[in-house]
């Protein structure tokens, strides 16, 4: 940041303490009004962040939350994790995939269908037809560096906290392969072996995510650009296979894999 030269003679004539205070006030006012804040970014993104689950008219409860998702593209496509999509849907009792969100003091549900699934990167694209949501914009993974601060918003612990998205912040503490070599052969299972053959990088975060956060967008607090998708289960079972108890470390799938699966959905 540079200071306009016309301020320099004025500052030189002031006592040193007053000059310092003036400079600090100038910097604070610049930061307050010249840069976007997380609060503003969150307000813009929340309409496009939804809960993902299933809906069955005669079930109690009718709605079951499974994870988080977010709108992209024209607002009719929802990104979430593949592992949260049920292997079987009870069509006989009219069970269907659905998204849920809170709007205008009312809880809303929209039926959805899965149009693309990438199990290798644990991503899925759902499509809704009844409404268009406010889409989030995808960023570039090339700009992500270890130590940078990001935020994610979703529905931790699913239905327990209701349709009120929660936001967490944390740094990208490491950019690391989604699987690590095992120390002993008996630690390797079929899933680990498959991922060892073709590993890819994921973002390791120092913020705690919960099971309902799976599918949450990881985004830049200033721009709102999404750089990853929170993944609580799929990555953890590979990275922490040697641990008897899972850690509080969270992971995110880089957004370039979302771009690839979107091509199949369009």
Domain of 92 in residue numbering reads as: 43-127
Cα separation, 42 vs 166, whole angstroms = 10
**What's residue 189's pLDDT?**
56
Instruction: Tell me how far CA of residue 174 lies from CA of 177, 236, 258, in angstroms.
Output: 10, 14, 20
Q: Which of 97, 127, 157 is the last residue of a domain?
A: 127
175 and 79, same structural domain?
no
**What's residue 190's pLDDT?**
59
Instruction: Tally the domains of the chain.
Output: 3
Nearest to 79 by CA among 126, 111, 122: 126
**What's residue 249's pLDDT?**
77
87 and 2, same structural domain?
no
Q: What are phi and psi of 117, to 5 degrees?
A: -135, 130
203 in a domain, yes or no? yes
177 in a domain, yes or no? yes
Q: What are phi and psi of 104, to 5 degrees?
A: 55, 45
133 in a domain, yes or no? no
52 and 25, same structural domain?
no
Name 209's Cβ contacts closer than 8 Å, sequence gap at least 6. Answer: 152, 154, 156, 168, 216, 230, 232, 250
**What's residue 160's pLDDT?**
74
CB burial string 176-196: b at 16+ within 10 A, e below: bebbbeeeeeeeeeeebeebb
Tell me the whole-structure pTM to 2 decimals: 0.78
155 and 116, same structural domain?
no
Nearest to 24 by CA among 41, 36, 14: 14
20 in a domain, yes or no? yes
93 in a domain, yes or no? yes
Q: What are phi and psi of 13, to 5 degrees?
A: -85, -10
The CA-based angle 182-255-231, given to 5 degrees, is 50
Q: Is 30 helix (H, G, I), strand (E, B) or coil?
A: helix
**What's residue 244's pLDDT?**
44
172 and 110, same structural domain?
no
Per-residue pLDDT 10s for the chain (266 aa) are 433 444 334 334 444 455 554 444 444 444 444 446 899 999 999 999 999 999 999 999 899 999 999 999 999 999 999 999 998 999 889 999 999 998 888 889 999 999 999 998 999 999 999 899 999 999 999 999 999 999 999 998 776 777 889 999 999 999 988 865 544 445 555 555 555 556 789 999 998 888 899 999 999 999 999 999 999 766 555 555 444 444 567 899 999 999 999 988 77
Instruction: Tell me how far CA of residue 94 lies from CA of 56, 59, 91, 217, in angstroms.
Output: 6, 10, 5, 30
Cα separation, 150 vs 177, whole angstroms = 20
135 in a domain, yes or no? no
**What's residue 192's pLDDT?**
53
Q: Find out whether 168 and 209 touch, Cβ atoms under 8 Å.
A: yes
Q: What is the CATH number of the domain that holds 50?
A: 2.40.10.10
240 in a domain, yes or no? yes
132 in a domain, yes or no? no
Cα separation, 163 vs 194, whole angstroms = 37
Paired tokens of 18? 């007053």
């Amino acid at each position: 940041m540079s200071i306009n030269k016309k301020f320099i003679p004025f500052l030189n004539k002031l006592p040193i303490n007053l000059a310092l205070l003036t400079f600090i006030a100038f910097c604070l006012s610049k930061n307050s009004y010249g840069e976007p804040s997380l609060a503003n970014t969150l307000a813009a993104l929340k309409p496009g962040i939804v809960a993902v689950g299933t809906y069955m008219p005669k079930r109690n409860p009718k709605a079951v939350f499974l994870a988080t998702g977010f709108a992209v593209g024209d607002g009719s496509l929802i990104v979430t994790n593949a592992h949260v999509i049920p292997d079987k849907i009870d069509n006989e009792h009219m069970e269907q995939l659905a998204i849920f969100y809170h709007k205008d003091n009312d809880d809303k549900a929209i039926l959805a269908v899965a149009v693309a699934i990438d199990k290798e990167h644990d991503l899925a694209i759902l499509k809704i037809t009844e409404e268009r949501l406010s889409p989030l914009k995808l960023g570039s993974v090339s700009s992500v560096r270890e130590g940078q601060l990001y935020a994610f918003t979703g529905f931790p612990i699913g239905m327990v906290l209701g349709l009120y998205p929660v936001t967490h912040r944390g740094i990208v503490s490491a950019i690391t392969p989604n699987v690590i070599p095992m120390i002993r052969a008996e630690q390797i299972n079929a899933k680990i072996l498959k991922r060892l053959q073709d590993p890819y990088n994921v973002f390791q975060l120092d913020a705690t995510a919960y099971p309902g956060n799976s599918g949450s967008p990881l985004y830049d607090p200033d721009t709102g650009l999404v750089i990853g998708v929170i993944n609580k289960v799929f990555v953890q079972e590979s990275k922490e296979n040697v641990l008897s108890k899972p850690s509080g470390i969270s992971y995110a799938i880089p957004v370039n894999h979302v771009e690839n699966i979107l091509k199949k959905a369009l």
